[in-house]
Every structure is written in structure tokens, then in C-alpha cells.
Amino acid sequence: MKHLSKGMLLLALICLSFGVPPKKIKVLFFGDSITQAGVQPNGYIVKLDSIIKQSHLPDSIELTGAGIGGNKVYDLYLRMEEDVLKKNPDVVVIYVGINDVWHKATSGTGTDPDKYEKFYRAIIKKLQEKNIKVLLCTPSVIGERNDNSNQQDGDLNQYSHIIRSMAKDLSLPVCDLHKAFADYLNANNPSNLEKGILTVDRVHLNDKGNLFVAMEMWKALQNMMK
Amino acid sequence: MKHLSKGMLLLALICLSFGVPPKKIKVLFFGDSITQAGVQPNGYIVKLDSIIKQSHLPDSIELTGAGIGGNKVYDLYLRMEEDVLKKNPDVVVIYVGINDVWHKATSGTGTDPDKYEKFYRAIIKKLQEKNIKVLLCTPSVIGERNDNSNQQDGDLNQYSHIIRSMAKDLSLPVCDLHKAFADYLNANNPSNLEKGILTVDRVHLNDKGNLFVAMEMWKALQNMMK
Amino acid sequence: MKHLSKGMLLLALICLSFGVPPKKIKVLFFGDSITQAGVQPNGYIVKLDSIIKQSHLPDSIELTGAGIGGNKVYDLYLRMEEDVLKKNPDVVVIYVGINDVWHKATSGTGTDPDKYEKFYRAIIKKLQEKNIKVLLCTPSVIGERNDNSNQQDGDLNQYSHIIRSMAKDLSLPVCDLHKAFADYLNANNPSNLEKGILTVDRVHLNDKGNLFVAMEMWKALQNMMK
Amino acid sequence: MKHLSKGMLLLALICLSFGVPPKKIKVLFFGDSITQAGVQPNGYIVKLDSIIKQSHLPDSIELTGAGIGGNKVYDLYLRMEEDVLKKNPDVVVIYVGINDVWHKATSGTGTDPDKYEKFYRAIIKKLQEKNIKVLLCTPSVIGERNDNSNQQDGDLNQYSHIIRSMAKDLSLPVCDLHKAFADYLNANNPSNLEKGILTVDRVHLNDKGNLFVAMEMWKALQNMMK
């Protein structure tokens, strides 16, 4: 992203100087119900859009949501042609994993960790073949207790490890939501509640949660553009 | 298949008359551990090959196995470029579903029925785009009791319905293994044993089971070529 | 029940002749949410009470519900001292098994078939030690499709087998709800719907379902009293 | 235990002085396959017996194993009359929970946390009614990775909390195996392996694991006797 983005921002500035409308950087968020809700009022994508508009950047970043409820990593892979590649994004943020872990317990249809990695890598490969920049995200939370006593904490930690080591292996940036949530909940959930801090129902974000994710995403996106 | 195959067989006969080596019809079996074992000695693909060689056909059908243990429908989709399309088969037999159902109970990582259909249709579509003929199979068995009292019978019946109605919807042929096994076990499992009739372990085929599947496949393939 | 009930009915008649209030036969229904709902208006226990009141019997049968939502066979065993034995019933109807099967898929906390039988037998033993008559029930349905294509049909068939062979082994009567539902749905569910015939939600009984169960229970109870 | 044990030890000493054989304190270990293996050569109960024999105590503690493979908390409850109460132990060590958690993922037949606590409390109550002293244990491990990334770590942490707060509520001693394993693995599993440190297969104890558990049990039992 380094070179591209610097170049793009430079181009944007040049264009602005000459009154030419700047090319927008298109960022697409690819995920599940959390991302589907992200484009609703107060959703994390809407909030991120506000943050960007309030910053000193030229209006050069356009955000799109491509989230579908219940999606796991292989569902993203199946629909990436239609829902991602056809939209020609410059950057794709992949935020998936909650259902891959959660559905093991709720319907017996989660995703094994090796398959999770395999499909995740296949998505990345297809994006990179189109010169699309990729930002990986570790999965946020299923339950907000801060002492690793939520039922899925073991898996969420494991699947987060997988994301981090793929990122390292492929030299890709990560928005480490799982760590960010853990740090926040350690500091801000003294009664060790299972929901109500950043989520409404242990998984889906409340207002504070949407803002929190928006800010984490913004930090990660800015790092990509440095 | 009707026109193509008649033409191909005719061509094969003409070629034979003139001493030209006939073009082989390449049939690829795409599946899980049952198909992986199908290419072993006594496996169903090896047995089918013998059956074909013993028939009065010119040696015009070449069989290939592409089975990997533990595979579900989405695993097939992920590897179809490498393992199927690159091999330029004329016919692909899709035999998958056991793990999609079974893994719900054994590791919480089965496949929801709607996703099963979605990926199955995506595989068919990609094959048809390359003018490859497709033979669908209903999943055989997980347990051989003949009174619908094997744990997964409900799902196997449902997933078989899905295959049959997709086939009807798309005017595609089906090798209805699930029905064939049920009929056979009704007649030949008087003690209602859970294994040992056509399988060694409730799932994987014994010698008789491999021969049984080979013959069912052969009937279905011959029907396609009529 | 044969001897006891004949005697009791006789006693009831004698008592009636002399103006002495007859001893009521106390029937307790021991189960899960279906039985918990059975004591609600239109519930199967309330309906059975109406049926009994409309019959030509002296008013000698008193019905009690002891159902708790989410209960499995081991939950019944744990609470039988408090909820059953202390109430001194003459007859206990055990109607449990839906959650033992269902919770495998919805929360990973169902009951293995061997444990199901073990706890069921332990309940029966404790009741018989107190000279309480026992009526076993096979579990009704989880989904109303009539072709064994509901996800849990395999297990429901298996657990029903277990009930029937325990009953045979112990010479106990069975109210075979699973078979009764299957027969009814074969005749009355031509569109093969998964709910809405005898249930509201695939499991819990609608008005027709409550009446249906009441009538099946009544047939079984009358057989016990012959 | 305080008063009883002091008295018993005193009695033992007096008896010894007068050549009367001392009454042995009978400690029974009640659990699953780990405890079943505990009475094998090198098992934790055998090792604990050696430790006790090597200590300066009079030979006054007799150890018995009552472990059965695959047992969950409700299995213990079902068999406690036969396997525990009839043996008149002075102390019962309850070590159960691994299967309650593990079987959720491997067969869909684990135990919900509220039921786990309910049955655990019912066992304690029955033991206390017979004046039997109780030592609770938190469940050891399912996987030895030390960063809470084993699949069942969330549940193991939660079920350990349940044990600890029951113990606090009932003023009972705890052998906190889960914490002891975690501390040991933090210090002694630098490569973050999933097995081979204290277990052979992520769950069942190797020699070092059996010794480790024996020593933890011994510390807890000595505390009870102070």
C-alpha cells in the first residue's frame, strides 16, 4: 500500500491544485452481519466515513460495505467475484471469523481452522492478482468477559493467531480487533459482564462498539497509507 | 450427454475402423475419502474400470479419481481449478455430502443445507461453462441400519432431496446412491446391523460396497451415453 | 396397573354407593416444555382432563403436570424426589427425549443413547420401588416432514427403539407417540411441511397437537386400566 | 475436615502406642478416565500412595479409585450410591468436568454449565449428608497450549470458575488443577505445544502429569487435615 497510496494521495493533491476531481480510493469492507450492520446509521462504516470527513484529508476515500449475515470465510470466497471484484475496490478489508467459530456450537456448521486458513489465503490471492490491497482483521468477540471464560475464547484466540501468522507470512497489515477488544475490556469491564460494553448481544456492536471498530479500522488504514 | 456421447462413440468406432487411436472419454470422480479409496486396488473406480474393460465397448473410457479425505462440498469448489478443470475431463461425477452431514456431529464443522446447495450449484456452473458433462450422486450412508435409525439419516435424506431437486431443476442425471443403498439394505440387512454389509465402518466401502457403487455408477454413466 | 386399577375402580364404585368420597387415581406427567405447556389452557393435560370428565368414568382420575422446559432424561432423574415421589402419584407418564436429541445440534449438550437408556431405567426403577405404575412415551417430533428428512429423524427413531425395547424388557406399557405422529403426518401432511400440522414450531404442540397427544395418552392409560 | 482429621490422627497415634491397628482414613477419587487410569501403575493415585507412604505419617490413609472413562458430572451422580456411598469413604475427591466440556465438540453431548453446577451440588449434598468430607477439583486441561488458544479453554475457564465459586459458597476446599496446570505450562511449555508436557494426548496424563496431579492432590489433602 505504501507506494500506491502515497502516489494516490500525491495525485489527489495534484488534481486538486489543478481543479481536476481527484480519483477516490475505494475501500470495501467484506464480512458478515457485523459488517452488514456497519452501513446502517451508527454502523462502523458510517462512523468511519464521518471520521474521515472530519480529518484534514481531501475527500478521497470512499467506503463500501459488503457484509452478509451468517457468512463464514468460504461464503466470502464464493461471492467475491460478484460482490468484490466487480466493484473494483482499491482496498479490501476482510473481517470474518465470528461465524466460523460460533456456528460450531450453535448449529454444528463452523469451519475447521485449517480450512479457515485455506479459504482466507485463497481470498487474499484472488485480491492480490487484481492488485487490490488487503487489510486482514482478527475476529472481535463472542462474549465480552475479559478472563478468557467465554465459551469460544479458545477458538477466537486460535483463529486470531492464524490471521496474524498469515499476515506475517504474506507481509500484510492486520487490524487486530481481537487484541484491541481484549485490551479495552480488561480496562473497561470491571464486573466481567458478558455483553453491554461494546456489544448488544455478545457479538453485534452497540454504538460504542461501532465507534471503537471504526477507530481501529481508521488507525490500520492510515498505517497502510503511510 | 446424449448427442456428444453418441457422436464420440461413433467417432471412436470410425477411428478404430481406420486404425486411428480413438479419443478417450475422460471421466473424473470428484469427491471425498470414499473416492480417494476408489482408486486403490478393489476401489470402486478400479472395479468400474474392470467392468468397462469387460464390456463390449471399445476401450474409450478413461477413469480418474480426484478424491481427498475429509472433503466437503466447499472443499471441492476450492480445488476444482487445479484438480478438475486443468485435467480437461469430458464427464465429472460429483460424489460429496457425507462429511457435510457427518462433521456436524463429530467436530461441529458440517455444512448447512442451503450452503451445501449453493456450493454444489457453483461447481456445476463452472463445469458446464467448460462444456463438461456432470453426473450428480446422492450421498451413500453413514450407518447401514435400514429403518432410518442411523443418527444422520434425517440429514442424508434431506441432502439427497436437495441433489435430486437440483438435478431436476437443471435437467441433469443423478446416480441415486442413497436410494440404491437403502433398497439394498432393506433386502440384505435382516439383522439391521450398522456396518459390515456394504461398509467396513458405517461409511467407507468394503469390497462388496465398492462393487455395488461401481455398478450403480456404470448404470448411470450408460444412461448418460444413450 | 391391571390389578391395582381394577381394584381401585371397584373401590371407587363401592365408595360411591355408600356416599364415601372415592380415592382419586393420581396420574403425573413428567417431562419437558411440552408437558410444562400441557397444563396451560388447551394444553394436552387440560384436554385429557376434559376427555376424562366427559367419559362415563366416576371422577376418579386426577392429572398433574411436572414438566420443565429444556429438561432431558437426567434432569428428570435429578428432580424426581421433589417433583414426583413427594406427590405420591399412582401413575407416572414419562415423556422425555426431545431435548436429549435436539440439543446435540443446537448447543452440543444432548444425551448419548446409552446414557439416555441408563437414566430412563434408573427413573423407572425408583418409581417401581414405590409401587408407582409407569407409562413410557416415545418422543414425538422435531420437524413434521413425513419422509424421514427432518434433521433429527435418525436419532428420534433410534431413541424410540430404545424406549420400545426397554418397555418390552420390563413388561411396561408404551404410549408410542413417535409412531402415532408419523402415521398421522403420513396421512395429513401432503405438502410435507416441517411445521403447522400438529406443532407450531416443529416441536411444541398447537391445539390440534395437544388434542392428539391427549387422545393418545388416554388410549394408553385406558389400556393400562383394563 | 479440621476437627475430624485431627481427632482421627490423634486416635491413630493413640492406637499405635497401644499396638491397636489404627483406623485408616479412606480417600476415594471419583471421576472419569483420568481417574480410572490413576490406579494403574504410574497413575496419579498410585503415585500419591507412594508419596504418602514416604511421608512421616502413620500408615493411616487408604486411597481408592472410582473413575470410569467418559463420565460426566451426571454419570457420577447416577452411580454414587453403588460406587461411593457403599464404600464408606471418609473423604471424596471429585475430579470431573473434562468430558462435560469436551463432548460438546466431539459428539454434541456435553453438559450445559448450569446443569454442571446443579449435579455437582447434588453430589456434594449427598456426600455431606453422610458426613463425608469433600475435596473439589477444577478440570485440568484439554490441550496444553499456554495462551488460552486451545479450543475448550473458554469453557474450562468458565467451569473452573463455577467450581471455585461453589467451593467458596459452601466453604469447601478446592484442588485448583486448572490453575496449577496453567501456571506449570506457562513456565514449562516455551514452544506452546498442545501435548507432551503433562499429557500424552492433550487430556490424559503422562508420567510427569500423574506425578504433578498426585502432588497437587497431596497438598490439598494435607491442607484439609491441618
Mutate which: D71, D72, D77, D109, vs C, most C CBs within 10 A = D109
pLDDT at C24: 86
Which stretch of A100-104, A209-213, B11-15, B136-140 has the lowest confidence by average pLDDT?
Answer: B11-15
| Alpha-carbon torsion (D144, D150, D151, D154), positive or negative | positive
Cα distance between residue A208 and residue D181, in whole Å: 37
Please answer whether residues D203 and D142 qualify as being in contact, where contact means their C-beta atoms are separated by less than 8 angstroms.
yes
CA dist B201 and B194 (Å) reads 8
For residue B71, give the chain A residue with the closest CA.
A115
Residues of B in contact with D107 (CB under 8 A): 105-106
User: D110-139: per-residue pLDDT in tens?
Assistant: 999 999 999 999 999 999 999 999 999 999
pLDDT 10s digits, B177-210? 999 999 999 999 999 999 999 999 999 999 999 9
Beta strands in D51-210 (DSSP E): 61-67, 91-95, 133-137, 174-175
Predicted confidence at residue B225, as pLDDT, reads 81
User: Which one has a higher pLDDT value, D48 or B8?
Assistant: D48
Residues from chain A contacting residue C105 (CB–CB below 8 Å): 107-108
User: Which pLDDT score, from 0 to 100, does residue D58 have?
Assistant: 66
What's the whole-number mean pLDDT along residues B27-31? 98
Class of the C6-225 domain?
alpha beta
Do the Cβ atoms of A105 and C107 come within 8 Å?
A: yes
Q: Are B11 and B181 in contact (CB under 8 A)?
A: no
CB distance D107–B106 less than 8 Å? yes
Tell me the DSSP string of A39-98: GSTT-HHHHHHHHHHHSSS-S-EEEEEEE-TT--HHHHHHHHHHHTGGG--SEEEEE--H
C104 touches chain D (CB under 8 A): yes
Work out the average pLDDT over D10-17. 47
- Express each pLDDT in D152-189 by its tens digit: 999 999 999 999 999 999 999 999 999 999 999 999 99
Q: Which residues of C touch B161 (CB under 8 A)?
A: 149
pLDDT range class, residue D2, cuts 50, 70, 90: very low
Mean pLDDT of A30-41: 98
Give the N- to C-terminal CA distance of chain B in Å, as an integer: 8
**Confidence band, pLDDT 50/70/90 cuts, at residue D19:** low
Give the pLDDT confidence score for residue A7 in this predicted structure.
47
In angstroms, rounded to a whole number, what is the distance separating the alpha carbons of residues C50 and A226?
78
User: What count of CB pairs under 8 Å joins A to C?
Assistant: 10
Q: Is the pLDDT of residue B43 over 50?
A: yes
D210: enclosing H helix or E strand: helix D207-225
Residue D5 has pLDDT above 70, yes or no: no
The pLDDT score that the predictor gives to residue C101 is: 98
Q: What is the pLDDT of residue C125?
A: 98
Q: In this model, does residue B16 exceed pLDDT 60? A: no
* Residue A20 pLDDT exceeds 80: no
Does C13 have pLDDT greater than 60?
A: no
* Rounded average pLDDT over C131-147: 98
> Mean pLDDT over all residues of chain A?
92
Q: A161-175, B89-103, C52-66, D6-20: lowest mean pLDDT where?
A: D6-20
pTM: 0.91
Taking contacts as CB-CB distances below 8 angstroms, the residues of chain A near C108 are 104-105, 108
> What was the pLDDT predicted at A57?
77
The fraction of chain D above a pLDDT of 90, given in percent, is 85
> How much is the pLDDT for B21?
59
Does A24 have pLDDT greater than 70? yes
Task: Please give the torsion angle defined by the CA atoms of residues D76, D81, D85 and D86, in that order, rounded to the nearest 10 degrees.
Answer: -130
Q: Which residues of D touch B104 (CB under 8 A)?
A: 108
pLDDT average, residue stretch C77-97: 98
Chain C contact for A105 (CB, 8 A cutoff)? yes
Element (H, E) at A33: helix A33-36
The residue of chain D with its CA nearest to that of C77 is: D78
Residue A100 reports pLDDT greater than 80: yes
The DSSP H or E segment spanning A162 is: helix A153-170
pLDDT value at residue C15: 44
CA distances to A175, A200, B175, B178, C11 from A152, in Å: 20, 17, 40, 36, 61
Report the greatest alpha carbon distance in chain A.
58
Domain extent listing, chain D? 6-225
Answer whether residue C179 shows pLDDT above 80: yes
Q: How far is CA A107 from CA A101, A133, D101, D151, D155, in A?
A: 11, 34, 17, 17, 18
Q: Report the phi/psi class of residue C192: left, alpha or beta, with left for phi > 0 and alpha for psi in -120 to 50.
A: left
pLDDT of residue D20 exceeding 60, the answer is: no
- Cβ of D155 within 8 Å of Cβ of A158? The answer is no
Mean pLDDT of chain C: 92
Do the Cβ atoms of A40 and A46 come closer than 8 Å?
yes
Judge whether residue A2 has pLDDT over 50. Answer: no
- Residue D11 predicted with pLDDT over 50: no
Query: Out of B78, B103, B105, whose CB is closest to A119?
Result: B78
pLDDT of residue C55: 87
Give the mean pLDDT of D89-109: 98
Looking at this predicted complex, what is its ipTM?
A: 0.90
Contact D141, D150 (CB under 8 A): yes
Q: Do B105 and D105 touch (CB under 8 A)?
A: no
Residue A27 has pLDDT above 90, yes or no: yes
Q: How confident is the model at residue D13 (pLDDT cuts 50, 70, 90)?
A: very low
- C-alpha B98/C-alpha B101 separation (Å) is 5
Instruction: Report, as an integer, the average pLDDT of B25-49.
Output: 97
> Average pLDDT of A113-128?
98
Task: State which amino acid sits at residue C78.
Answer: L
Contact D200, D31 (CB under 8 A): no
Which residue of D101, D106, D109 to mutate against B (max B Cβ within 10 Å)? D106
